[in-house]
Amino acid sequence: MSVKDFPLPDLGEGLTEGEILKWLVAEGDVIELNQPIVEVETAKAAVEIPAKWAGRVAKIHYPEGTVVNVGDPIISIDTGGGSGTVAATEPAANAEGEGGLIGEVKADGRTAVLVGYGPKTVTAKRRARTGAPAGPAGTAPSGTAPAGVKPASAEQATGAAFGSGAVVPGTPVASAPAAASTPVAAAPVAASSGSVLAKPPVRKMARDLGVDLSTLVGSGPQGSITRDDVQAAVNGVSAAPAVTVARGERETRIPVKGVRKLTAANMVASAFSAPHVTEFLTVDITRGMKALDRLREQRDWRDVRVSPLLLVAKAVLLGIKRYPMINSSWTDEDIIVKNYVNLGVAAATDRGLIVPNIKDAETLSLRELADGMTDLVTVAKSGKTPPAAMTGGTFTITNVGVFGVDTGTPILPPGEAAILAFGAVREQPWVHKGKIKARQVTTLGLSFDHRIIDGELGSKFLRDVGAFLTDPEAALLAWG
């Protein structure tokens, strides 16, 4: 017998702890190299961690819901030849040099990776679930996602509270290596009841909303419960965490951890370190909305998600090109003007508010920008946004209009000089060509760091963003 302790790895960007959301294996299970064994939530994202060795699970050191420090052993794996089954898996482990460290490239060219952030070349083996039939009827292939999970629209997913920008982790740092490949979803796993199938994010959503999964009928593969099933159970109630208060209780305590904890720390750090100024501009964007309608009618755009937020993003990118100081950051020694734009878009998810960004957005065509925003939102809603996508942002947009809010005073993300709030688009009476007419109107709110951006610069940038939204075709001809 050769038992090895597997510590919680450093998941990057200086993280020091993680919460164990779900064990994907149990003591006594035979596991393979790179098989997903546990889902862990950090302050930035939820990730699945693969096994470093093949063997048998000897001990699980912490239950679900425990916050564990990086470096603490979380599972012990018997890699010895204690049984024929374990021994049969050893050649695969030996071929990989015991799997190697995460990110290490082995002699045969394979790379040890976090599940969902790179190649997956083995099929995970799980114990037969209690109460579930063995074989295809009781399990789903790894990498499949429950049917019926529909990505929210860009308008719905990118709405954010005024403090949205503050959730960008940390102060300005170099971007982490870009995540490779498309996130791989784990197979549905058993929920509170052995006969109920649901993925970990779905189970967490159900816990937050107070929904008993055992009372639901799943619409996913093999009857698995999906997000839509949980949402239907609460009759359209928002997915914001709900708190169940037992009868007689006068107070409820909610642990401050994960995304919420980092959000709070960054908001406080930003609010009390950068002198904020906010300006507002109300504009008639009727022509802009008509331009979007014409864009949707184009043959190459018929299957593309097009929203007013796309126009706002393009307006911001052109505005930054005209006024580069908007895209900068402050240090005690220098003002660092970025010659690239990592455009952050605040996204509301089941785990809280995050701000992933589109790298080098200034180099993208309008179609590429639309596709990038769609991908950003889809990945964010799946809970698989990699930490690298949430660092290095240079300018952020928060779409508060999806909540029916006219505008607000957003807090700057740490390390950024400005953030734009995009309010609701409403039909309002407006003086147009000397007459009062019904027009599509919105209000923009620009918060900026007054150490870098003075009132003149902030006002000119906001004016030009508004001018683009008012008549994007004319602006493109004049500025493009």
Work out whether the CA dihedral 425, 426, 431, 433 comes out positive or negative. Answer: positive
Cα–Cα dist 223/220, whole Å: 5
Q: Taking a C-beta distance cutoff of 8 angstroms, is the pair 424, 406 a contact?
A: yes
Q: State the first-to-last Cα distance of the chain, in angstroms, to the nearest integer.
A: 68
User: Residue 135 contacts by C-beta under 8 Å, 6 or more apart in sequence?
Assistant: none
**Quick one: which of 460, 443, 365, 446 has its CA closest to 405?**
443
> Exposed, middle or buried by CB within 10 Å (0-12, 13-18, 19+), for 453?
buried
Coil, strand or helix at 265: helix
Cα–Cα dist 320/394, whole Å: 11
Cα–Cα dist 421/248, whole Å: 41
User: Residue 434 contacts by C-beta under 8 Å, 6 or more apart in sequence?
Assistant: none
Determine which one of 61, 276, 432, 450 is catalytic: 450
Tokens of 192: 């509170």
Residue found by looking up tokens 């779900």 in the block: 22
Active site residue 450: yes
Q: Please give the sequence-ordered ranges of beta strands (E in DSSP) within 331-434, or none if there are none.
A: 335-337, 343-345, 347-349, 352-354, 357-358, 395-399, 418-422, 426-432
Strands, sheet with 3-7, edge to edge from the N-terminal-most edge strand: 3-7, 73-78, 55-60, 30-31
Q: Going by DSSP bridges, is the β-strand pair 55-60/335-337 parallel, antiparallel, or unpaired?
A: unpaired
> Exposed, middle or buried by CB within 10 Å (0-12, 13-18, 19+), for 455?
exposed
Buried b or exposed e, range 393-403, using 16+ CB within 10 angstroms: bbbbbbbbbbe
In this structure, which amino acid lies at residue 424? A
Q: Taking a C-beta distance cutoff of 8 angstroms, is the pair 448, 264 a contact?
A: no
- E strand or H helix at 59, and its extent? strand 55-60
**Quick one: which of 451, 331, 337, 468 has its CA closest to 394?**
337
Coil, strand or helix at 166: helix
φ and ψ at 377, to 5 degrees?
Answer: -70, -45
Radius of gyration from C-alpha coordinates of the chain: 25
Active site amino acids: 450
